[in-house]
Structure 1
Amino acid sequence: MPASAYTRAKQPEQVRRALLDHAAAIAMDHGVSGVTVQAVAAAAGVTKGGLFHHFGSKQALIEGLFADLLGRVDAEIDAAIEADPKPRGSFTRAYVNAVFTGKAFGFTTPWAALSMVVVTDPSLRQLWNDWIKARLKRHRATDATPGLHVVRLAADGAWLTFVTTGQTRMSAELRTVHDRLIAQTYRRGS
């Protein structure tokens, strides 16, 4: 048994992380359809059996990839909320910023275009729905107004427009939309 395989067996979290990182890199380069069990296992330096030990199927790997992305988005949003001096609308501001300029999910990240799979894949759509419902429940006291809901929906619409038109940079028009949405979160009736 090679030393690297023995070491990896003792570090399952590192193997899982490597599988997710390599799957993400393949997805960004070749789309989600390029994420095959063989390609990910080979890139991570594990056998297909090793991959299946961590993810029972290709679908489980893809779901793990999106769950990992949502974890990164969560961390980014939590940090923004913590840094926001105004509690009212803080989740909505953090969400808008994550959608437009975020490091995990923003317009110019490789994930923006790949996230379109969420629209067509029922299990990924469920992951997204569960995530957003949990967030909205958690931030009910600060972000439950109809006006803030409209702001989040507008951000989603801007995201959809951005990814479906193949843009690679945020235009001046989208920057203006971003700024107006953020300003809306500070209005009293929102």
Structure 2
Amino acid sequence: MTLAHHRPKQPDLLRQQVLAAAVRLAVEKGAEAVTLDAVARRAGVSKGGLQHHFPGKRALIDALFDRMWQRFSAELAAEMAADPEPRGRAARAYIQVGTRGLPDEEGDFWRAALTLMLADPTLRERWSAWVRQAWQADLAAEADVTTLLVCRLAADGLWLSDLAGYDAVPPARRADVVQALVAMTYAKETPR
């Protein structure tokens, strides 16, 4: 009998343990390393135990992406709800949430999700669909969508440099860049 039979059943803890193992594999070895066998070994569970929670690799990857996405979406919604100015609201929320520093564990989830998203067209399409929907809010508010797009892409650059672990922009200058991007979202031009 394995130790697993003697452990108290804690399905939520086991799910988190398995997701954390998948994250570590994706961050350390790339998307192709995230196999059910490798994740089970890394998590210290049987493959059957893993499959009880995640029937296949697709379910595991979707769960990892969903976890990251739910947190990101909740933070965006909170930022947007707190912003009284409709023009550029979605872009400001994206800038604020995307350029916040991430704790190591959360950063690893983002790195893993990005690694998996780059390798998986289904995840890329899910992300793209959200981006298209988010911009509808700014389009409806008659914001300068070209400026907002520039702001979002600049925020993506800061976010990706954080995830990649290179410090191209000193912290004080970085704060100035974020502040300038946010200020740009208040432009009163109409769409072109």
TM-score of the superposed pair, with normalisation by structure 2: 0.72
Does structure 1 residue 171 correspond to structure 2 residue 174?
A: no
Counterparts of residues 32-51 of structure 1 (less than 5 Å): 32-51=31-50
- Corresponding residue for residue 7 of structure 2: 4
1:131/1:163 CA distance change after superposition, 3 Å: same
1:92/1:68 CA distance change after superposition, 3 Å: same
CA distance in 1: counterparts of 2:17 and 2:179, whole angstroms: 37
User: How many residues matched?
Assistant: 182
- Corresponding residue for residue 67 of structure 2: 68
Alpha carbons 1:89, 1:148 under 8 Å: kept? yes
Alpha carbons 1:91, 1:143 under 8 Å: kept? no
CA distance in 1: counterparts of 2:189 and 2:81, whole angstroms: 23
1:144/1:103 CA distance change after superposition, 3 Å: farther
SS for the counterpart of 1:110 is helix
SS for the counterpart of 1:133 is helix
Alpha carbons 2:24, 2:108 under 8 Å: kept? no
Counterparts of residues 5-24 of structure 1 (less than 5 Å): 7-8=9-10, 11=11, 13-24=12-23
Summarize deviations over 1:132-175 as a string: whole Å, max 9, x none: 23433466544764132332233334545x279x5433513554
- Corresponding residue for residue 28 of structure 1: 27
Counterparts of residues 147-166 of structure 1 (less than 5 Å): 147-160=147-160, 162=161, 166=164
Alpha carbons 1:80, 1:94 under 8 Å: kept? yes
Deviation at 1:176, TM superposition (A): 4.0
CA distance in 1: counterparts of 2:28 and 2:142, whole angstroms: 37
Higher relative contact order (CA 8 A, sep 6+): 2
Deviation at 1:92, TM superposition (A): 1.0
- Corresponding residue for residue 184 of structure 2: 184
CA distance in 2: counterparts of 1:28 and 1:66, whole angstroms: 14
**Is there any run of 5+ residues in structure 1 with no aligned partner, and where?**
none
CA distance in 1: counterparts of 2:138 and 2:25, whole angstroms: 35
**Is there any run of 5+ residues in structure 2 with no aligned partner, and where?**
none
Deviation at 1:185, TM superposition (A): 0.8
TM-score of the superposed pair, with normalisation by structure 1: 0.72
Alpha carbons 1:136, 1:143 under 8 Å: kept? no
SS for the counterpart of 2:151 is helix
CA distance in 2: counterparts of 1:144 and 1:125, whole angstroms: 26
SS for the counterpart of 2:107 is coil
- Corresponding residue for residue 132 of structure 2: 133
Once structures 1 and 2 are overlaid, which stretch shifts more, 36-45 or 134-143? 134-143
Deviation at 1:128, TM superposition (A): 1.1
Deviation at 1:74, TM superposition (A): 0.9
Q: Alignment RMSD, CA only?
A: 3.4
Summarize deviations over 1:66-112 as a string: whole Å, max 9, x none: 2211111112212222333433322211111222225389xx93355
Aligned AA for 1:4?
R
Alpha carbons 2:144, 2:187 under 8 Å: kept? no
- Corresponding residue for residue 56 of structure 2: 57
